[in-house]
Each structure stands twice: as C-alpha cells, then as structure tokens.
Amino acid sequence: MQNNDVLRMRGIAKRYGSLTALHGVDFTLARGEVMALLGENGAGKSTLVKILAGLERADGGSIEIDGQHVRLRSPVQALHAGVAYVTQELSIIAPLSVAENICLGGGEPHAIWTARALRARVQPYLDLVGLGGIDPAMPAGSLPLAQQQLVEIARLLSRNARILILDEPTAALSDAEIEMVKSVVRKLAAEGRSIIYVTHRLGEVFEIADRVTIFRNGRSFDPVPVRNLDIDELIEHLLGRRLEQMFPERATSLGPPVLALREVTAPGLRRPVSLDLHRGEILGLAGQLGSGANAILRAVAGVAPYDGGTIAMRGRTINPRSVREAIKLSIAYCSDDRKRDGIFAVRNLYETFTSPALPRITVGGLLSRRREVQLSSELASFFEVALSRLDTHAGKLSGGNQQKVALGKWLGIEPAILLVEEPTRGVDVGARAEIYRHLRKLASQGLCVMFASSDNQEVLGLADSIATFFRGRLVRVVRAEGIQPEELLRDVTHPDESQPGMAA
C-alpha cells in the first residue's frame, strides 16, 4: 500500500479560538480507493476535508500529493493539485446549459465556442459520470438534484481531479438517485481516481468503501479495511467513551400531554407522524440532515405549516400559519441558525432579550427602561449570562453565550412549549453542559421542550423520550432509558437493515 498512496496528510492541526478541531491528525489515501470518513458531528472530519480542499488553512502539519509537498491555500490551488470538493450545496448555475456548466471557469484558450464544440468537449466527462444519455444543451437547472450533482462531478473531472471529496452526497437524494451516485463512485475508483466519501450512513460504507477512517474528538484512527469490519464493530469505534456527567438528571415523572400530533404531514416529511409531548418533558427528535426531525418543529412553530392530520394543544386543535401566530399560542421556536434569526448582532443584549416580549416592557406605547432592565436581567440571570455584559452587542459574544441569549429571550413570553433545533451547534463543551442544565430546569418548572438534533449523544443524554427519524419518516418513539446508543445510531442511519422489534 505504501508507495501506492496518492495523498498523505501528517500531523494536521487546527484550532478555532479555544476549540481544538484537529489534534495533529494523520490521513492517507491510496490510488483508486474509496475511503469513507466517519465520525459524529464535531469530530473533525469536515475540518480535515476543508483543509484538503483549500477552504481552511491548517495551523500545522504537512500535505503530500503523489509524494510532492503541496500548499493548499485556496480551492483553486487545491484543484490545481488535483483535489476536488463536492459539497452539499452545489455550485451549479441553473440557467446555463449542462455543457456550459462543465466548462465554466475552465480557462479555455479559445475565446469563442460553438454549441457543437462544447458538446464534443464535455461528452467524455458526461459518459464518465453516467450521464452520456442527456442532452448537454439543456439547462442544468432542469435536471433532478442527483444529476446536477453528477454534472458537478463531471466538471471537476474535466479539470483533471484525481482526488474527489464527496461530502454527504446522498443526504438529500432518493433511493434510485443514491444508486446512481454510488455506481459513479465505483466507476471512478475503478479508473484509478481516489474518492473520500464523507457520510453519516453506515450502510453506504459497507456498500462502496474500501477502507474507513474514523474520527473522534478531533483525532483520527488508522484506516480499517471495510471487509474486516461488521456494523456493530463500526458503531463501537464511532462512539467511544461517553460523557455522562455532561447531562442533568432526567425527569422523574411527566405531566399530562400538552401537545398531540396525529398523522401530521408537513413539508419535509414523507410519512404522517404521530407524537405526544407532555408537561415537563424533554422530547428529543434524533435524525440526520433531511430526516424530518426539523420538519416537525417547523410545522408546530408555524414556519412551515402542516398540511394534513391534526396538531392539538391541550386538546384544542391549532394551526399556526406563521411564527407570530405560534407565539400567540405560547409556542417559542429557536432555529438552528442563531446568527441568521436568533440574535440581533448589532444591538445590545437588553434589546435582544426583550425583543419577543415588547408588550411586557411597554407602557402606553413608550418603552420603560426600568422594565427592560428588569426583564433582561431576569432572563440573563436564569441563563447565567453576566449582567455586566447586557450592554454589549449580541454579535460580540461567544457562540455559547449567543445561544443562551437566543434561547433565553423566549422566556420573556412565558412559553408553554419551547422548540429548539440543534440546541448546542457551534457551542463549546462547557457552555453545552450549562445549556442542558437550563433546559432541564425549565422543563422541571413545567415547560415542554422538544428539540431536534443530529448529535446522538445530546439526544441520549438530554431527552426523556426519543423519537428517531430517518429520511422523512418517524422510525419509533422510545423512553430514553429504553434505547442503547447503538440502536439509536442504527435508527438514524440505516433503520431498515434487519433489526427486529422496530415499528416503521
């Protein structure tokens, strides 16, 4: 294997502020192999891949391609060195033709192209990705998503990419489309190109990968040939030790149901979902991107209203068509992107904390400074945000503090139900534990919390009940004590593979 290595990365280190993403990681890739990268969120795999693609700069370590030391400081340099990165967000330009998309940015010597010349030039690459049958002159935007992905791969191949990074290429695709992508991957590997395949779906690893490198807490393990592994071993490798002390005690008893979903269909769900949320309960919706876990929250929050079935709150059917309507029903919702819609980066914390509860600090149309200070101090103390920081801009805070503000502001409306997407995304370990503790405290005071997370540890540690989701459908609902980490991982990655006792 040694002299067949096309890529060698040694001692790659990367820190983001106080957070170490990679502690001196080694990684090798052989010619013509498909290497799967596995790891939980935040394990460091996407950081490594971004460094290789020239999107991030490593703080230390060396990268060799074909035995040559290379510097990858921009995507252009990476492509020059033969590394191409296919992200989940495609860079296809919809109104341009397939052929134009493939040639885009290729730096061709000829100033003028005819459609025929373009067609002739791109045909070999289209054949290579299994799109030989489509008309290169059709607009790329009219193709289904999977084919657009293949067009993007064809573009990178036309730039002579020898190392292809596919980042969760199948996350948003249907089964038939996934087959198409997989067969192209196999074909490219057979041609002698090397593929790095980032995925959360364990099943795929066994189907197409030759070897697998596992990441955990910013470290990588030596690559293991897939034929020597079985799925249970893989899961064990993936999870490693637990961080039990991170999570507060669970609820001892639950109150009556507050929210009842019956056969609900909504954008992002493929099958109707029925769920119950009780007073004082923390319900964790576990699932990867596109699993439908977020879709449930958005339906209840009025962001993406539901279109079938019923949602009842304390026995009364509700149908919020907007966030405003949901707020009036005492339903608060925190999205997974706090910078986009959770905080006001250029306003101070007083203003962010009181923003959902302006009526509470208003007297006759005028803002009462006294009430504003009082309310925001109350909320800040509950979430342990230093009162001395109330007059700093929300954008200046660390990720953890921003998240506390994004969550804490909702207490101002005294919600009955709190919906949270990815409660600790981009939050360091210390602040995570605090946020878990605060959410538990709120639940014990009678609030219902429903959160969606792609972080299995978080779901296992925080939730009283767990609903697992896989590609738009609810797999099952269980008590948190009643599920093993391995089972949870299986549910959200490949629930269909021969596991008894699983209601679909």
Partner 1 sequence: MNSLRIVADRLQAGSSGEIDPNVAARRRRAAQIMLTVGAILLIALGGATTPSFLTFDNAMVVIRQASVTGIVALGMSYVTISGNLFALSAEELAILTACIFGWLMRAKFGLALSLLATLIFAGLGGAVQGAVIGLGADPIITTLAFGGFFRGLASVVSGNQNILLGTNAAEWLGTARPLGVPTQSWAFLFLTPLAWFVLQKTRVGRVLLLTGANREAARATGLRVDQAGLIGVTLLGICCGMAGISAAAQFGQAVANLFQGLNFDVVAAILVGGIALRGGQGSPIQAALGAAFIALLENFMLLNDLSSGWRMTVVGALVTLATCVFHLLQRRR
Nearer to partner 1, 174 or 355 (CB): 355
At its nearest, how many Å lie between partner 1 and the CB of residue 396?
5
Nearer to partner 1, 152 or 351 (CB): 351
Q: Are strands 211-216 and 60-65 parallel, antiparallel or unpaired?
A: unpaired
Binding status of residue 365 toward partner 1 by CB under 8 A: yes
At its nearest, how many Å lie between partner 1 and the CB of residue 231?
40
Distance from C-alpha of 361 to C-alpha of 410, rounded to nearest angstrom:
14
At its nearest, how many Å lie between partner 1 and the CB of residue 395?
4
At its nearest, how many Å lie between partner 1 and the CB of residue 374?
16
Q: Segment contacting partner 1 (CB under 8 A): 120-128, 198-206, 393-401, 473-481?
A: 393-401
Nearer to partner 1, 233 or 337 (CB): 337
Starting at the earlier edge strand, list the strands of the sheet with 473-479: 331-334, 417-421, 448-453, 282-286, 465-470, 473-479
The DSSP string of 258-323 is EEEEEEEE-TT-SS-EEEEEETT-EEEEE--TTSSHHHHHHHHHTSS---EEEEEETTEEE---SH
Element (H, E) at 62: strand 60-65
**Total number of residues that touch partner 1 (CB under 8 A):** 28
Which residues 293-352 are close enough to bind partner 1 by CB under 8 A?
Answer: 323-324, 327, 333, 335, 340-347, 351
Binding status of residue 358 toward partner 1 by CB under 8 A: yes
Determine which residue in the list 395, 414, 429, 479 makes contact with partner 1, applying CB under 8 A. Answer: 395
Determine which residue in the list 111, 112, 176, 366 makes contact with partner 1, applying CB under 8 A. Answer: 366
Determine which residue in the list 77, 123, 274, 355 makes contact with partner 1, applying CB under 8 A. Answer: 355
At its nearest, how many Å lie between partner 1 and the CB of residue 140?
24
Nearer to partner 1, 281 or 351 (CB): 351
Binding status of residue 426 toward partner 1 by CB under 8 A: no
Distance from C-alpha of 186 to C-alpha of 40, rounded to nearest angstrom:
25
- Residues 228-248, buried b or exposed e (16+ Cβ, 10 A)? ebebeebbebbbbeeeeebbb
Nearer to partner 1, 383 or 470 (CB): 383
* Distance from the Cα of residue 358 to its chain's centroid: 33
At its nearest, how many Å lie between partner 1 and the CB of residue 287?
22
Nearer to partner 1, 226 or 419 (CB): 419
HSE-CB at 9 with a 13 A cutoff on CA atoms is: 24
The DSSP string of 252-276 is SS--SEEEEEEEEE-TT-SS-EEEE
At its nearest, how many Å lie between partner 1 and the CB of residue 298?
11
Determine which residue in the list 138, 243, 367, 387 makes contact with partner 1, applying CB under 8 A. Answer: 367
At its nearest, how many Å lie between partner 1 and the CB of residue 317?
21
At its nearest, how many Å lie between partner 1 and the CB of residue 147?
31
Nearer to partner 1, 327 or 435 (CB): 327
Amino acid at 234: L
Binding status of residue 393 toward partner 1 by CB under 8 A: yes
Binding status of residue 394 toward partner 1 by CB under 8 A: yes
At its nearest, how many Å lie between partner 1 and the CB of residue 188?
35
Read off the tokens for 62. 């060396």
Q: Segment contacting partner 1 (CB under 8 A): 72-80, 380-388, 389-397, 419-427?
A: 389-397
- 192 contacts 128 by C-beta, under 8 angstroms: no
Nearer to partner 1, 161 or 297 (CB): 297
Binding pattern for the stretch 231-270 against partner 1, x by CB under 8 A and - elsewhere: ----------------------------------------
- 248 contacts 73 by C-beta, under 8 angstroms: no
- 188 contacts 156 by C-beta, under 8 angstroms: no
Determine which residue in the list 77, 362, 374, 398 makes contact with partner 1, applying CB under 8 A. Answer: 362
**Rg of the chain (C-alpha set):** 25
Nearer to partner 1, 270 or 347 (CB): 347
At its nearest, how many Å lie between partner 1 and the CB of residue 386?
17
**What is the 8-class DSSP label of residue 348?**
B
At its nearest, how many Å lie between partner 1 and the CB of residue 332?
9
Distance from C-alpha of 136 to C-alpha of 100, rounded to nearest angstrom:
8
Q: Segment contacting partner 1 (CB under 8 A): 44-52, 71-79, 133-141, 354-362?
A: 354-362
* Distance from the Cα of residue 94 to its chain's centroid: 24
Which residues 405-424 are close enough to bind partner 1 by CB under 8 A?
Answer: 409
CA distances from 192 to 10, 29, 160 (A): 23, 12, 12
Phi and psi, residue 470, nearest 5°: -145, 120
Residue showing tokens 């996407």: 46
Task: Give the list of residues 6+ apart from residue 208 with CB closer than 8 angstroms, or none.
Answer: 34, 36, 182, 185, 186, 197
Q: Are strands 316-318 and 308-313 parallel, antiparallel or unpaired?
A: antiparallel
Three-state DSSP state, 192? coil
At its nearest, how many Å lie between partner 1 and the CB of residue 308?
25
Q: Which of 40, 35, 374 is nearest to 217 (CA)?
A: 40
- 6 contacts 195 by C-beta, under 8 angstroms: no
Interface residues with partner 1 (CB under 8 A) are 323-324, 327, 333, 335, 340-347, 351, 355-356, 358-359, 362, 365-367, 392-396, 409
